[in-house]
Amino acid sequence: MIKHLWLFAVVCYITTGCSTSQRTHNQDAEIFNNGAVVTAHPLASAVGVEILQKGGNAIDATVAVQFALAVVYPNAGNIGGGGFMVYRGKNGEVASLDFREKAPSSASRDMYLDKENNPIVDLSLYGQLAAGVPGSVAGMDEAHKKQGSLPWKELLGPAIRLAKEGFPITTQQASEFNRYKERFQQHNKQGAAIIKETEWKEGDLFVQEQLAETLERIAQYGRDGFYKGPTADYIIAEMKRGNGIISHKDLEDYQAIWRTPIVGYYKNNKIISMPPPSSGGVALLALLQSVENYPLKQWGFQSDSTVRAIVEAERRVYADRATHLGDPDYYKVPVAELTDATFNKNRMAGVSLAKATDSEQVKASTFPGYESEETTHFSIVDKDGNAVSLTTTINGSYGSCVWVDGAGFLLNNEMDDFSVKPGSPNMYGLLGGKANAIEPGKRMLSAMTPTIIEKDGKLKMVVGTPGGSTIITSVLQTILNVLEFDMTAQESVRAARFHHQWKPDHIDVEEKAIDTKTRASLEKDGYKINKRGAIGRVENIVVLPDGRLQTGADPRGDDKAMGY
């Protein structure tokens, strides 16, 4: 029953952990013996642990968590979006699953430009035209068929109950629901479960009957319960209500794709991450290779020299990202060149840490034969050592703000992740060019960076985060926090963060990131400091030498680590 599930989550929340086996504290890091789940919402984490305790494996828990997040975390958890999954089996086999959204077949390169060839910003951000063809349901169906062990219907059961019977919303959710009310009303004249006449308050029950019916169809018919039949009809009706272009054929033709993961090394640690159309794995590995020769451990966490080395690496890697990365099914992406350790070390050879490089002087690399923030993440490890790192998104917070009437879920606004016009930034300030131009059926470029690390043939870390353009740099810093600065899993995600993405040419810093003295030193040498709010919401699991699972749930949100 949902009541026992909610009570289970609340008790775990109060006691700062959940366990039916030995649990210890290590500077606030929870440690579990048999399995761990870290997600953006305590109820979703509880669902994952419940599946593991029933004998399900990491993929079973992944499916259950993904659908639970679609219910309890609608600003990013979804069935109307897409994402990427990196998997490592207990015997060391690795795989990555691409269930990224795709441009509809009627999409065109200039579809968001006005008569003067200027971007019409809101068209790619809000309303039906902003939506790409969703991939989440197909992705979970594909993952379950290949690696699942428990029955599909059983894995959707918790999400269906949460939607049908409701759950108490958190303080943060109440604030967000109220803040987005006007925009929800603007794009949902038919009404939506998330629109309430009065203000939402912490503890209010959020019931989603239409979503429960949609999930029941998916439970009964698998992917056909979403891409065909009544749910598909509801999506197409929603397209016709606005200016959307997704068709029945677009839905029926969608396929999730297994791809070869990006694999490389950082100081004898094997890095396993997501390949294009995610830029995450390529950029992460390039960043790690770029800073590998610097004595970061000796310099210390966020010391003057450490920050300079990381920022200069980020400046160059993001310049390459803007030019060379896109959907490999549509564009020849120079993956081998961009992830070559010698290339990335040489890229830093001319860097002087005495003075900031002007981003205008940093150009993308050239290679022969090549032309020129709302997401959520969860990490899972089961008792056998199977591991999943999965990042999923509808792009902006609450996506396009279009609630599919009759089906009860939000559509993504992923079309904004394409390069709407070369040289024009998207909502995260990221630039792009031909490699990421809009084409029918193409997957838009992403910064999502689900990552798994192993050392000496054994699982070491499962990590990832939301955060738009800051995803890659947040994962980078979390990895360095563990591998270089000896932080626990919880310390690694709690630590303050900074970010640079080539353009705009400044360092974004959280309030507690980079101390005052270091900031002054950086500014003296030409680095621009831009104060901003929270960067990322990282979920991390670190495997200790004795095999136990140390967890880190980001305190920037309602994130929760649970296990047994």
Residue 512 included in any domain: yes
Residue 434 included in any domain: no
- Identify the CA nearest to 311 among candidates 468, 539, 518, 465: 518
Note whether 325 and 201 are same-domain residues: no
Answer yes or no: is pLDDT of 372 > 70. no
CA-to-CA distance for 461 and 387, rounded, in angstroms?
Answer: 9
Q: Would you state the structure tokens that stand for residue 530, as one six-digit string?
A: 């831009």
Note whether 7 and 114 are same-domain residues: yes
What residues have CB less than 8 Å from 529, skipping those under 6 apart?
Answer: 506, 507, 509, 514, 519, 522, 523
Note whether 154 and 275 are same-domain residues: no
Positive/negative CA dihedral, 64, 67, 71, 72: positive
pLDDT of res. 425: 57
Note whether 114 and 243 are same-domain residues: yes
Are 171 and 11 in contact, with CB atoms under 8 Å apart?
A: no
Q: Which residues pair with 531 in a beta bridge?
A: 509
CA-to-CA distance for 507 and 522, rounded, in angstroms?
Answer: 10
Edge-to-edge strand ranges of the sheet holding 529-531:
498-499, 507-509, 529-531
Low-confidence winner among 23-37, 53-67, 324-338, 383-397 (lowest mean pLDDT): 23-37
Note whether 284 and 383 are same-domain residues: no
Q: Would you state the structure tokens that stand for residue 386, as one six-digit string?
A: 């199977």
* DSSP single-letter state for residue 128: G
CA-to-CA distance for 130 and 124, rounded, in angstroms?
Answer: 4
Q: Which residues pair with 133 in a beta bridge?
A: 102
Note whether 140 and 287 are same-domain residues: no
Three-state secondary structure readout of 367-409: CCCCCCCCEEEEEEECCCCCEEEEEEECCCCCCCCCECCCCCC
Phi-psi region of 443 (alpha: psi -120 to 50; beta: other; left: phi over 0): beta
pLDDT of res. 251: 98
Residue 105 included in any domain: yes
Q: What is the CATH number of the domain that holds 492?
A: 3.60.20.40
Q: What is the mean pLDDT of residues 93-118?
A: 94
Read off φ and ψ for residue 10, nearest 5 degrees.
Answer: -65, -45
Q: How many domains does the chain have?
A: 2
pLDDT of res. 29: 84
Note whether 199 and 302 are same-domain residues: no
> In the chain, pLDDT over 90 holds for what percent of residues?
78
456-487 per-position pLDDT tens digit? 999 999 999 998 889 999 999 999 999 999 99
Strand 549-553 with 539-543, pairing: antiparallel
Answer yes or no: is pLDDT of 45 > 90. yes
Residue 511 included in any domain: yes
**Owning domain of residue 65:** 2-258+376-416
CA-to-CA distance for 39 and 551, rounded, in angstroms?
Answer: 11
351-363 per-position pLDDT tens digit? 888 887 777 776 5
pLDDT of res. 14: 34
Three-state secondary structure readout of 158-200: HHHHHHHHCEECCHHHHHHHHHCHHHHHHHCCCCCCCCCCCCC
Note whether 64 and 157 are same-domain residues: yes
Low-confidence winner among 11-25, 298-312, 397-411, 495-509 (lowest mean pLDDT): 11-25
Strand 529-531 with 507-509, pairing: parallel
Report the run of H or E that residue 562 belongs to, with start and end: strand 560-563
Report the run of H or E that residue 94 belongs to, with start and end: strand 94-99
Are 377 and 393 in contact, with CB atoms under 8 Å apart?
A: no
CB-CB neighbours of 152 under 10 Å: 18
62, 231, 323, 375: the catalytic one is 375
Chain CA centroid to CA 271, Å? 17
Residue 498 included in any domain: yes
Note whether 219 and 142 are same-domain residues: yes
Residue type present at position 55:
G
219-242 per-position pLDDT tens digit? 999 999 999 999 999 999 999 999
Report the run of H or E that residue 205 belongs to, with start and end: strand 205-206
Answer yes or no: is pLDDT of 258 > 90. yes
Q: Would you state the structure tokens that stand for residue 415, as one six-digit string?
A: 């079309």
Are 391 and 450 in contact, with CB atoms under 8 Å apart?
A: yes
| Angle, in degrees to the nearest 10, between helices 304-324 and 280-291 | 140
Q: What is the mean pLDDT of residues 443-447?
A: 91
Q: What is the mean pLDDT of residues 312-335?
A: 88
- Identify the CA nearest to 403 among candidates 168, 172, 80: 80
Report the run of H or E that residue 231 belongs to, with start and end: helix 229-241
Residue 435 included in any domain: no
> In the chain, pLDDT over 70 holds for what percent of residues?
90
Read off φ and ψ for residue 393, nearest 5 degrees.
Answer: -160, 155
Edge-to-edge strand ranges of the sheet holding 82-88:
257-259, 94-99, 82-88, 387-393, 375-381, 36-39, 560-563
Are 508 and 498 in contact, with CB atoms under 8 Å apart?
A: yes
Q: Would you state the structure tokens that stand for residue 356, as one six-digit string?
A: 């900031």
Residue 391: active-site member: no
Note whether 309 and 457 are same-domain residues: yes
pLDDT of res. 44: 98
Note whether 275 and 359 are same-domain residues: yes
Edge-to-edge strand ranges of the sheet holding 29-32:
24-26, 29-32, 549-553, 539-543, 458-464, 451-455, 269-273, 262-266
Q: Would you state the structure tokens that stand for residue 136, as one six-digit string?
A: 């989440």
Residue 11 included in any domain: yes
* CA 166-172-174 angle, 5° bins: 50
Say whether 29 sits in a helix, a strand or coil.
strand
Q: What is the mean pLDDT of residues 411-425?
A: 78
Average pLDDT, the chain: 90
Q: What is the CA radius of gyration of the chain?
A: 22
Residue 83 included in any domain: yes
Residue type present at position 249:
K
pLDDT of res. 373: 57
| Maximal CA-CA distance, the chain | 65
494-539 per-position pLDDT tens digit? 999 999 988 889 999 999 999 999 999 999 999 999 999 999 999 9
Say whether 520 sits in a helix, a strand or coil.
helix
Note whether 237 and 312 are same-domain residues: no
Low-confidence winner among 209-213, 245-249, 325-329 (lowest mean pLDDT): 325-329
Band (pLDDT 50/70/90 cuts) for residue 419 is confident
Q: Is the peptide bond before 504 cis (omega within 30 degrees of 0)?
A: yes
